[in-house]
């Protein structure tokens, strides 16, 4: 920006400090660029929500299931005998849940092997995209996200790598398909499991 050169000495004295001040503000690290750096995810008062506990065990990779059948039954308000562990591959576990009415739904729970920077990237993407369903956990310190095209939930805590993935499926070639209302209820069940996990592992 060019400053006007005027002939009156008094006016020049008044304008010169203003010109110098503008350059100083433009080059100052305390200007607009610095403000952007302080909020790397945009307007995110909850980008790093205050942690309500230590979740190291929840996000630690291992060979054991994150939930026993009894715990999963408790999370879904079912009897223990209605849940059976069907498989465990490196800590990613599959459970068969027999619901009232005879439907059997399979749920999968396990960690993704992601570094922390990928977790932060996914939080940013979910917050900025209208495609994602993103909500805060009941504990107030973990993002729970779902992409409609993928269906599964992710527990994304900005303080930890290896987010927890929760999904469900129903396959019965000889029986009826799930209605949209039934699908919605099973999706809601995955949120129950997510919040149960967080509460159970909170230390």
Q: Tens digit of pLDDT for each residue in 89-136?
A: 999 999 999 988 788 999 999 999 999 999 999 999 999 999 999 999
Report the predicted TM-score, pTM, of the whole model to 2 decimal places: 0.75
pLDDT in tens, 1-28: 444 444 444 444 444 444 444 333 434 3
**Which of 72, 95, 97 minimizes the C-alpha distance to 85?**
95
Contacts of 34 (CB under 8 A, 6+ apart): 28
Contacts of 96 (CB under 8 A, 6+ apart): 83, 84, 86, 104, 105, 106
Give the DSSP letter of residue 82. G
Q: Could you give the 3-state DSSP secondary structure of residue 144?
A: strand
């Amino acid at each position: 920006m060019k400053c006007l050169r005027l002939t009156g000495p008094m006016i020049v004295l008044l304008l010169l400090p203003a010109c110098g001040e503008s350059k100083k503000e433009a080059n100052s690290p305390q200007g607009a660029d610095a403000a952007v750096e302080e909020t790397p995810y945009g307007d995110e008062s909850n980008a790093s929500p205050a942690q309500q506990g230590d979740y190291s065990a929840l996000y630690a990779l291992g060979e054991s299931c994150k939930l026993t059948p009894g715990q999963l039954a408790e999370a879904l308000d079912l009897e223990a005998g209605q849940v059976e562990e069907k498989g465990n591959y490196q800590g990613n576990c599959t459970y068969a849940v027999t619901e009232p009415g005879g439907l059997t739904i399979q749920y999968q729970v396990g960690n993704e092997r992601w570094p922390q920077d990928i977790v932060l990237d996914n939080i940013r993407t979910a917050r900025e995209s209208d495609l994602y369903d993103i909500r805060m956990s009941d504990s107030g310190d973990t993002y729970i996200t779902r992409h409609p095209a993928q269906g599964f939930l992710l527990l994304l805590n900005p303080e930890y790598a290896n987010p927890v993935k929760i999904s469900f499926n129903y396959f019965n070639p000889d029986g009826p398909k799930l209605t949209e209302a039934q699908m919605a209820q099973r999706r809601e069940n995955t949120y129950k499991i997510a919040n149960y996990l967080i509460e159970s592992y909170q230390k």
